[in-house]
């Protein structure tokens, strides 16, 4: 899952981002509304965690600009009155979380919004005997659990959800890593190699030379 965290208190924003990355999410961070709109125009996010009181462009304006698409918006604010929550939802926010909040609740709400933003994918993906359960963060091949890193899990989830389609290394970087990922790095190739090793034989992932990667088609 790729997220955008928009929070003007840099210490809080960076702390939220670190915690969400430990949960296996790809997280970009900005500290004002203008930067949020710029990044949202460049990237596809499943969820935007949006502070309401932002410099440059107010959070309300950001919410209005992003609402109505496939991206889900979780609005954060220090204001906890019912009227404030109603106002935030009326602007197009999908959920509302007053500060201070527990990290566990933030993660649960983000995952719930992420499931709502998914494009008609089954909750559990199964292809060629490999099963990925995004909600439980579990992956198996046959009856064997796969001990995957967060990035390996994310790559496998993207490839399985593609239904046999080819996914480029650039697309994997965009969907599994964050904006700081170096587009010239070999991190995708290394992650694919480690994932293949853990999946074992027969091979599940094949390289389409010059294009990208895909799940091996089922025998006809």
Q: How confident is the model at residue 164 (pLDDT cuts 50, 70, 90)?
A: confident
pLDDT at 219: 58
Give span(s): CATH 3.40.50.2300, the chain.
2-117
Q: Using alpha carbons, select from 180, 26, 39, 12 the residue that is nearest to residue 100.
A: 12
Q: Residue 101: count other Cβ atoms within 10 Å of its Cβ.
A: 12
Q: How confident is the model at residue 82 (pLDDT cuts 50, 70, 90)?
A: low
pLDDT at 179: 63
Q: In what order do the strands lie in the sheet with 47-51?
A: 26-30, 2-6, 47-51, 72-77, 95-98
* 3 state SS of 157: helix
Q: How confident is the model at residue 13 (pLDDT cuts 50, 70, 90)?
A: very high
Decide if pLDDT at 186 tops 90.
Answer: no
Decide if pLDDT at 80 tops 70.
Answer: no
Decide if pLDDT at 120 tops 50.
Answer: no
Decide if pLDDT at 144 tops 80.
Answer: yes
Q: What is the pLDDT of residues 23-61, one digit of tens each?
A: 888 899 999 999 999 999 888 888 999 998 899 999 989
Give span(s): CATH 1.10.10.10, the chain.
125-215
* 3 state SS of 149: coil
Q: What is the DSSP string of 45-109?
A: -SEEEEESS-SSS-HHHHHHHHTTSS-EEEEEES--SHHHHHHHHHTT-SEEEESS--HHHHHHH
Task: Say which CATH topology domain 2-117 has.
Answer: Rossmann fold (3.40.50)
| Torsion on CA atoms 73, 15, 194, 43, rounded to nearest 10 | 30
Decide if pLDDT at 93 tops 70.
Answer: yes
pLDDT at 168: 92
Decide if pLDDT at 4 tops 90.
Answer: yes
Task: Say which CATH topology domain 125-215 has.
Answer: Arc Repressor Mutant, subunit A (1.10.10)
Region 186-210: mean pLDDT is 91
């Amino acid at each position: 899952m790729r997220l955008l965290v928009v929070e003007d208190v840099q210490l809080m924003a960076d702390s939220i981002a670190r915690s969400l990355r430990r949960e296996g999410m790809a997280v970009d961070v900005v500290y004002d509304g203008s930067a949020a709109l710029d990044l949202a125009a460049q990237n596809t996010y499943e969820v935007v965690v949006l502070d309401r009181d932002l410099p440059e462009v107010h959070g309300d304006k950001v919410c209005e600009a992003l609402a109505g698409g496939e991206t889900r918006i979780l609005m954060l604010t220090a204001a906890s009155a019912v009227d404030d929550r109603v106002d935030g939802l009326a602007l197009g926010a999908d959920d509302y979380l007053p500060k201070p909040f527990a990290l566990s609740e933030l993660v649960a709400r983000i995952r719930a919004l992420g499931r709502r933003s998914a494009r008609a994918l089954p909750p559990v993906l199964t292809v060629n005997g490999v099963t990925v359960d995004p909600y439980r963060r579990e992956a198996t091949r046959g009856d064997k659990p796969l001990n995957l890193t967060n990035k390996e899990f994310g790559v496998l989830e993207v490839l399985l959800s593609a239904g046999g389609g080819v996914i480029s290394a650039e697309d994997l970087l965009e969907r599994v890593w964050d904006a700081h990922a170096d587009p010239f790095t070999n991190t995708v190739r290394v992650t694919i190699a480690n994932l293949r090793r853990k999946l074992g034989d027969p091979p599940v992932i094949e390289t389409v030379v010059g294009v990208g990667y895909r799940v091996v088609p089922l025998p006809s």
